[in-house]
Amino acid sequence: MSEKVVIALGGNAILQPKQEATYENQLENVRKSSEVIARIAKQGHKVIITHGNGPQVGNILRQNEEAKHVVPALPLDVCSAESQGFIGYMMEQTLKNELIKVGLKRDVVGILTQTEVSLDDPAFENPDKPIGVFYDEEEAKQLAREKGWVVAEDAGRGWRRVVPSPMPQSIVDAPTIKRLVESDAIVVACGGGGIPVVLNEDGTYQGVEAVIDKDRSGFRLAIETKADTFMILTDVKNVFVNYGKPDQKALGVISLEEAKQYQAEGQFSAGSMGPKMEAAIKFAELGGKAIICSLDEADLAMEGKAGTQIHN
């Protein structure tokens, strides 16, 4: 049965850890992701794709900072728009090519997407979203002193710059995205969580310097486009409980009640699986099907044969 599915691609789908951030490396990673998405489209589903941009927006920001004595630096929301544009271009091109290979004629459209946030969000007082490249502790703290950055350790993988990550309130371009996907186009939207903007009292929008968590904005995108399934792709095949312990267990098909119980036990770390499970649980609460799985098993997960699946 055909479903409308929002697919949230993890950062590894664009750039692997410690991989050099060349255009060629990122294009090849995106192409591999597009192979899997084409298989899902071949199953007859309507597809909306969103993706992370942490390494990319961090690199663009650093390019701006390093060259600011030559070219004026741009704010973080504009850097986010730049990353959304070039990743969207790669996804449009590679996915169109992979669709041709499987015999499908579907339009692929990238939408430069704005996401509304609130200036009252406490995240602006407590930056915690990692972006950009990894550093060792000494180098990160030196950069913090020199550049006024806030830095923090990222899930034991190294140190990174952290910026505000406010909760998404709405996807400004959701009505347009919904119309496009209902016309059978495959839409790439909300890259990097979307470009963060705030709504002024006069009804106009303006950008703010932040990075929105792509799983949280993916949830909002799935709700506002009335998706049947919200799929979060990551670098593990399943969500685990008691992760890293002798009694660790992979979760397959679980009920909403089970997922909430594991969440209440603190099974999912804030810097890793926490936001993914938070978004998946919220979507299941509203009657949808939520899936967390690896990229290479995404088409199997759509058939109920792989991944962690949460059903209400």
Catalytic residues: 11-12, 129, 214, 276
User: How is 144-159 classified by DSSP, letter by letter?
Assistant: HHHH--EEEE-TTS-E
Query: What number of residues does the chain have?
Result: 312
Grouping H, G, I as helix, E, B as strand and the rest as coil, residue 205 is strand
Return the bridge partners of 199, or none: 205
Half-sphere exposure of 251 (CA within 13 A, CB side): 27
Grouping H, G, I as helix, E, B as strand and the rest as coil, residue 128 is coil
Q: How far apart are CA 3 and CA 230, in angstroms?
A: 10
- Are 51 and 191 in contact by the 8 Å Cβ rule? The answer is yes
**What angle in degrees, to the nearest 10, is found between the helix axes of 274-285 and 256-264?**
140
Question: What DSSP designation does 166 have?
Answer: P
Question: One-letter amino acid identity for 252?
Answer: G
Q: Which residues, in sequence order, are CB contacts of 72 under 8 Å at separation 6+?
A: none
CA distances from 311 to 19, 217, 224, 253, 276 (A): 36, 20, 19, 8, 15
> Which residue reads 């949830």 in tokens?
219
Backbone dihedral region for residue 158 (phi beyond 0: left; psi -120 to 50: alpha; all else: beta): left
Q: How far apart are CA 55 and CA 86, in angstroms?
A: 13
